[in-house]
Structure 1
Amino acid sequence: MIGAKQQSEYKQPEESRTSTQLLFDESPEPMLVVNAGTLEFLEVNRAAVQKYGYNRDEFLKLRLTDLVPAEDREKVQESLQGERSEGSGICDVRHLMKSGKAVEVDMLVHHIRYARKKAALVVPQDCTHRKQLEEHLRQAQKMEAVGMLAGGIAHDFNNLLTIINGYSQMLLSSLSESDENRSSVEQIMKAGERAAELTRQLLTFSRRQVVRPKVLDLNVVVAGAAVMLKRLIGEHIELRLIAAPELARIHADRSQVEQVIINLAVNSRDAMPAGGTLTIETQNMEFSEPYPGPHTTLKPGRYVMLAVSDTGTGMDEQTRSRLFEPFFTTKAQGHGTGLGLSTVYGIMKQSAGEIMVDSEPGHGTCVKAYFPAASASLPAADTDTPREEAAPGSETVMVVEDDEAVRRLVRDTLEKQGYRLLVAASGPEALSIAERFDSPIELLITDMVMPQMSGRQLAERMKTVRPHTQILFISGYTESAIVQTAALGYENTFLQKPFTPSMLSRAVRELLDKAHKPMSPKAESCSC
């Protein structure tokens, strides 16, 4: 084959030269022989003619630098005009086709002797697909890193907001309607609720939000959201719904799917300040092989697609590349948090789906969300029942929480409800108290993430010595591996921070009421 460091002195037999020429001409990869000094083309093979669009005579009138953008020419000249005889690869070089199209290539160079001249054999390998995969990987790593940061911030804020919102509600309930401080406390509560919503969005983006997936008809969810959307987007925007017949079901959290629809619609509305058309479409999709997109690739399988498109201003490539980053926004200050689309991204990832965006400046935007089609064996969604205020109780409740302020809030809340409280700051301390306590402990409330012993480990240890004790987990940071309480046999026993005293009281009462029968002191002592 052309190109070897001993070729300057090696004389090939005629038959061998003919075979080498055949290999050169028939190679499926483009191969270019250039003068190492002038960079003029000396020979090209058929694959190069097919790839670049120039015929052989046209090639022989060109230099290699004619195929390279101006900003890459110096790099190419340094590689080809050096004295090295070994092969070397040049990445991130673009070659221009005759049509004007630019293609990313890895340019492999071998210094040779050709027609008694110093020459170079250039093998340009199209690396467009590899570049796309690398960009997908970089995007995924960036989003994962930002997601971890967002989840950690949300966890810390949720502890603080539990205290702020909890004591605000307790203080508000102690004030009369005519109290002059009532309005101030209400403002504190409203600010706390807004902050709690921001942390929920951060947790959703980082895929650490607790979800309650059900089998859903996406057409029904879209139709329900459309009622609110008509008021939300304004009369200057036309709303069109295109519902696919016989749409497959999806397995997702209804409130999160509604949030995807609303966030995408609001983003489209803001891109059409002078009015336009917002279209929401559903469709069954099936891919027999991986389907590549700009920043992700859909795995083969059946999907239900939700497409939200607008006739707005569109986005350039730079904006699209940062579209799902938390707090990134192109809106004016005070007109958005920059969490809307990052929340959508988190929901889709948490729902095992994908999201793709197609947009160009002046040509509007189309966002396609792909939900995996649900298995027919999954149970249908049940209807939610309204919740009433929690009744007081007299049971013994153990509270285990490493944050002192949260621990005090839980204790104060439940003591006002009439419960008997046992309080510990860690798992080992809780087990020590449980061993010495000779009466039933009807409920254990434990934080999930604590030093020395996690809430999950504590629950397992507690169940071995007090099998009748109910468990309620609380946390502001919900990794999927520790929130799957159903796998431990503790269904519906998770309360996410920040929670209010009324939410805590209701969760405690509902869990205790679900117990099959009251435990007797005798039964409790026997199990120990």
Structure 2
Amino acid sequence: MSDDKGSPTILLVNDLPDQLEVTAFLLKREGYRVIGALNGEEAFHLAQFDPPDLIVSDVAMPVMDGIELCRRIRATSHLAPTPIILLSAIRKDVPSMVEALQVGADDYVEAPYDPRFLLAKVRLLVEKNRAEKALQASRERYKSLFEYNPDAVYSFDLEGRFVEVNPACHKLSGYTREELIGSSFTTLIVPEELPQTVQRFRQAAEGEPQNYETAIYHKDGRRIELNVTNMPIIVDGQIVGVFGIAKDLTEQKRVQRALRESEARYRLLFESNPLPMWVYDLETLAFLDVNEAAIRHYGYSREEFLSMTIQDIRPREDLSTLMNRVKHIADSDQRYHRSGVWRHRKKDGTIIEVEIISHILELNGRRSKLVLANDVTEKRRAEEALRRQALVFDTIYDGVIVTDLQGRITDWNPAAERIFGYAKAEVLGQDSSLLYSAEISEQIDAEIRETVLTEGRWEGEIAFKRKDGTTGTADSIFVLQRDGQGNPLSIVGVNRDITPRKQLEDQLRQAQKMEAVGRLAGGVAHDFNNLLTAIIGYADLALRRVREDESLRRQIAEIKKSAERAANLTRQLLAFSRKQIIQPKPLNLNEVVEDMGKMLQRLLTENIELRLELYPDLWPTKVDPSQIEQVIVNLAVNARDAMPNGGLLTIRTANIETEESLLRHHPFIAPGKYVLLEVADTGCGMDEEVQRHIFEPFFTTKEPGKGTGLGLSTVYGIVKQSGGYVTVHSRPGEGAIFRIYLPQVIAEAASHRKRQSSTPAPQGYGNETILLVEDEESVRRMARATLEEFGYVVLEASNPRQALRICREHRGTIDLMLTDIVMPQMSGHELSLQAKALRPRMRILFTSGYMDDENLRRDLLSEDKPFLEKPFAPDALVRKVRETLDAPRPA
């Protein structure tokens, strides 16, 4: 193979190194590149990796001689064309010469030989090899151009008959090579093109190259459009035929026709389109064309438009944005653009909003843009109105329900989801009756929907039912919605949830009623307490004096027992009226319930199971221990009476933080943290009517003589006075659950457990001086007689002013003032303040069975004043007096 500089490569093979070196020198001097080998095998391997232009080899050699090397070279495809000269050292070795020529040697040179002779032989074969290679390459190139040319390539004789055709001719015409060779081209030409095609052939055959368009019929009958180039074939100065190339123009012609048709359609669409359209130059922004719709819509004439740029129809403040947009489009490869909504200015100055769709095209050699403008001003206004309506629909606090005329729900806003508890997907297509109880659904069908369809509107209050089964009340307005022709379309219901307001109104009415009853009960209890104090006191004193007459003692004891029962009744009335003086303290309700466990079990019948579920880390709450015990007992008795055939009574405690669901159903409960006391039974339950009156005094569902009707009203009063809330949940046959919410306090709970006193109870005897202040004469006389019997000196006052006068004028010591709290002129508390100013060391003991002044009651409790509740027995009086006198004085 030739080296990089083009020198032919000769593979020189000789087993004698000296001869190899001499011959190589001669060849190199002539400009050849020489590769040496000492035997045929080495030469064959060298030839495979570096094919030479000529091999010069000795015949007789060890390992592999020249004859075998020649045979191997000719048997190797890529080496076979290599010319080979064999050299023989034996003169007239005819067999070797014959064999060499038989195996393919190109020449045979015998020794001795003139080096010039050998060089001539080498030069001749190298040049011949190069010429043959060039000819072969030329043939290959021609074959490639002819065989693989995508266009039809052919040659004719001077009569117009096909002499040669390439495969593309077959593909173009549908005829095989055999069918074409020898046939005349005129058999393919369509009739209307035949005259000019024959004329053009003759001109080419006369030596004048031709280029023209014609058409032929494909074998399957299709018309094929061609661009033909014909030129004469000249050999030795004579024209012997015509050579031609035919290019298929069928698709190009089809595209051109389609383009013309498209341009015609475009022009028709452009001119007849009802929407404004125009074309403008992307470089100068000048209008190049406008349609009639643009002229009508914008108010400019065609001539005015064609003298303007697109900047002239834009508001001045939008020009910067416009230019940025135009530059972006001009730099983009994208041809189709949806540019959004822009503001345009008409000739009369009106600003409109238009939606722009554009397409980049070439028009008369100028890069242009075709624009379609759709005026969306009114559409945008309508969309904005709809958007505002949708915003109102979605954010309005009232629940909006849209139904068809048959009552099926077609739309539903978020507020409706909140009020009724259903997600929108759950109710769409459902009948609106699922939102109401059966009787209300009948009312809606019979009254409300009929009214809406006839009168166009209905409004009022409706009881509804939530997804969770709870009920509520809505202030509703139903309006008939009509379409553009005035036909009934749908019914829109706007519902405002007034359940909390109705509950508050009910609570207010209930509270006002309870307050009125409480004031009446409290007033009655106050007067009764004074009377009962005298009755109990005198009965007790009489029992002390009547020792012998047992019959009389029994009668007096019966009087005292009846009076004590009446006193218990007044205490319940006072508990309900919240006029009691209570002594609350922080405590753990779990301890209270646990301590009452055995007592409660005795209270219940054997067929009632008591279950305690007490929260381990219960918060403390502040409540009067004796009163919360009364609450638990009353609720347990109520549960027992509701389960005559046995059942389960569960007392549960828990820590509660108010949640939205609790506040929604009980809006009167203030948000905060509460200790829950829950008493649940599995008894007969209650309907809603009974639940509305359950806490009213003297209300009872029991038979006459089976109850006072004060048990639950007492619970209500104690809980309210303790700052808590009580609720009831019940259904007939499903038992009842009473829940009491008592406020959490941040304080250490005092132990409720009773401790044994290390000292004996005081006996009550003494000789101190006591100022007795009581406006009720019977009570005053009884108290004085009792105190004097136990050795005390008693100063008596019937009103506060008299008491103050005694404090000022009495010369001796007054050790204790026993005063009623509720009196004319001033309260016992105010009296104590003025009396203490006169006698600082005098002790004060308050007594009352009723206290209407909330502030006064709170002050007494907060200061932990000694107090004796009316009605009281003589023993209780002297015990409390002695306890107060003996108590250590404050530091």
- TM surpasses 0.5: yes
Q: 1:484 to 1:507 in 2, by over 3 A?
A: farther
Distance 2:737 2:694 in 1: 13
- The CA distance in 1 between the partners of 2:785 and 2:559, in whole Å, is 20
| Residue 319 of structure 1 pairs with residue 693 of structure 2 | no
| Pairs aligned (count) | 492
SS in 2 for 1:180: helix
The residue aligned with 1:272 is: 643
Q: Taking structure 1 as reference, are residues 464 and 384 closer, same or farther at Cα in structure 2, changes over 3 Å only?
A: farther
Flag structure 2 segments of 5+ consecutive residues without an equivalent.
Answer: 1-377, 418-422, 433-438
1:481 Cα deviation after fit: 2.1
8 Å contact from structure 1 (residues 212, 252) kept in 2: yes
Distance apart, 1:19 and its partner CA: 4.2
Match of 2:587 in 1: 216
**Contact 1:485 1:494 (C-alpha < 8 Å) held by counterparts:** no
Match of residue 454 from structure 1:
827
User: Relative to structure 1, is the Cα distance of residues 194 and 516 closer, same or farther in structure 2, using a 3 angstrom cutoff?
Assistant: same
Distance 1:79 1:158, change over 3 A: farther
Quick one: distance in 2 between partners of 1:361 and 1:20? 52
| Alignment correspondent of 2:520 | 149
1:194 to 562, 565, 579: 565
Paired residues of 2:767 and 2:792 also in contact (CA < 8 A) = yes
Which of 459, 476, 491 is the equivalent residue of 1:107? 476
Q: Deviations over 1:23-55 (max 9, x none)?
A: 4445135557999xxx999x9865389779775
CA distance in 2, matches of 1:387, 1:326: 41
- Which letter does structure 1 place at the counterpart of 2:857? V
Aligned with 2:850 (options 477, 483, 489): 477
Residue 302 in 1 paired to residue 711 in 2?
Answer: no
The aligned amino acid for 1:495 is L
CA contact (8 A) 2:611 2:649 kept: yes
Relative to 1, partners in 2 of residues 1:123 and 1:17: Cα closer, same or farther, differing over 3 Å? Answer: farther
Whether contact under 8 Å (1:52, 1:98) holds in the other structure is: no
* Contact 2:846-2:865 at 8 Å conserved across structures: no
Q: For the residues of structure 2 that align with 1:57 and 1:444, how far apart are their CA atoms? A: 77
Instruction: Supply the distance in 2 between the matched residues of 1:95 and 1:508 (Cα, whole angstroms).
Output: 62
Structure 1 79/414 Cα, relative in aligned 2: closer, same or farther at 3 Å? farther
- Partners of 1:249 and 1:97 in 2: how far apart? 36
Residues 271-290 of structure 1, C-alpha deviations (whole Å, 9 max, x = no match): 11111122222333334668
- Could you give the per-residue CA deviations for residues 242-279 of structure 1, whole angstroms, max 9, x where no partner exists? 33323333332222222222211111111111111222
* Aligned-partner Cα distance in 1 for 2:744–2:862: 27
Question: Offset at 1:21?
Answer: 4.2
Q: Which amino acid aligns with 1:410?
A: A
* Cα drift, residue 395 of structure 1: 1.9
- Of 470, 494, 511, the residue aligned with 2:884 is 511
1:7 corresponds to: none
Larger relative contact order (Cα-Cα within 8 Å, sequence gap ≥ 6):
1
Deviation at 1:487, TM superposition (A): 7.0
Question: Of residues 65, 86, 92 in structure 1, which corresponds to 2:461?
Answer: 92
Aligned to 1:464: 837
| Aligned residues of 1:448 and 1:482 also touching (Cα < 8 A) | no
Deviations 1:133-187 (A, max 9, x none): 3333333333333323322222121111111111111111111154321111111
Aligned to 1:391: 764
Match of 1:252 in 2: 623
Q: Cα distance 1:116–1:103, how it changes in 2: closer, same or farther (>3 A)? A: farther
Aligned mates of 2:559, 2:794 — CA distance in 1: 29
**Matched-pair identity in %:** 43
Q: For residues 34 and 299 of structure 1, do their structure 2 counterparts lie closer, same or farther at Cα, with a shift above 3 Å needed?
A: closer
* 1:355-434 aligned within 5 A: 355-377=726-748, 380=751, 383=755, 385=757, 388=761, 390-434=763-807
CA distance in 2, matches of 1:487, 1:58: 60
| CA deviation map 1:101-121 (0-9, x unaligned) | 976322347899974759997
CA offset digits 1:471-510 (Å, max 9, x no partner)? 1111121244223455785x34211111111111111111
Deviations 1:1-22 (Å, cap 9, x if unpaired)? xxxxxxxxxxxx8765554444
8 Å CA contact 1:54–1:98 kept in 2: the answer is no
Equivalent of residue 510 in structure 2, options 133, 139, 142 = 139
Distance verdict in 2 for CA 1:73–1:441, change over 3 Å: farther
Q: Bigger CA drift: 408-417 or 163-172?
A: 408-417
Q: 1:493 aligns with which of 857, 860, 866?
A: 866
Q: Distance in 2 between matches of 1:495 and 1:97?
A: 52
Alignment check: 8 A CA contact 2:772 2:795 kept: yes
- Please state how far the C-alpha of 1:189 moved relative to its aligned partner: 0.9
Work out the CA distance in 2 between the residues paired with 1:437 and 1:334. 54
TM (norm. structure 2) is 0.49
CA offsets 1:164-218 (integer angstroms, 9 cap, x no match): 1111111111111543211111111111111111111111122222222233332
Q: Which residue pairs with 1:340 in the alignment?
A: 711
SS at match of 2:775: coil
Greater alpha carbon shift after TM alignment, 274-283 vs 43-52:
43-52
CA distance in 2, matches of 1:101, 1:515: 59
| Alpha-carbon distance between aligned partners in 2 of 1:91 and 1:100, rounded to the nearest angstrom | 22
Please report how far the alpha carbon of residue 387 of structure 1 lies from its aligned counterpart in structure 2 after TM superposition. 6.7
Change (3 A) 1:258 1:91: same
The aligned residue for residue 10 of structure 1 is none
- CA distance in 1 between counterparts of 2:466 and 2:889 reads 76
Distance 2:707 2:848 in 1: 28
Q: CA deviation at 1:233?
A: 0.9
- CA distance in 2 between counterparts of 1:422 and 1:157 reads 25
Deviation at 1:396, TM superposition (A): 1.8
Give, in whole Å, the separation in 2 of the partners of 1:484 and 1:122.
51
Q: Report the 3-state secondary structure (helix = DSSP H, G, I; strand = E; otherwise coil) of the residue aligned with 1:189.
A: helix
Provide the residue aligned with 2:605 in structure 1. Answer: 234
Conservation of the 8 A alpha-carbon contact between 1:280 and 1:308: yes
**Structure 1, gaps ≥5 residues long:** 1-12, 60-65, 518-528
Instruction: Summarize the Cα distance change of 1:407–1:91 in structure 2 as closer, same or farther, 3 Å threshold.
Output: farther
CA distance in 1, matches of 2:545, 2:788: 15
Corresponding residue of 1:441: 814
Aligned-partner SS, 2:550 = coil
CA distance in 2, matches of 1:237, 1:167: 43
User: 2:724 is matched with which residue?
Assistant: 353
| 1:123 counterpart SS class | strand
163-172 or 354-363: bigger deviation: 354-363
SS of 1:291's equivalent?
helix
Contact residue 214 and residue 251 of structure 1 kept, 8 A: yes
Aligned twin of 2:574: 203
1:97 CA displacement: 9.5
**Counterpart Cα distance in 2 of 1:293 and 1:131:** 12
Partner Cα distance (1:320, 1:435) in 2: 57
Change in Cα spacing, 1:158 to 1:487, as seen in structure 2 (3 Å) is closer
Quick check: 474-483 or 370-379, which moved more? 370-379
Which residue identity is paired with 2:529?
Answer: N
Aligned CA distance change for structure 1 residues 101 and 332 (closer, same or farther; 3 Å): closer
Query: Which sits farther off after the overlay, 248-257 or 155-164?
Result: 248-257
In 2: Cα distance, 1:434 partner to 1:333 partner: 53
Rate the CA distance shift 1:378–1:246 in 2: closer, same or farther, 3 A.
closer
Report the AA paired with residue 755 of structure 2. T
RMSD: 3.9
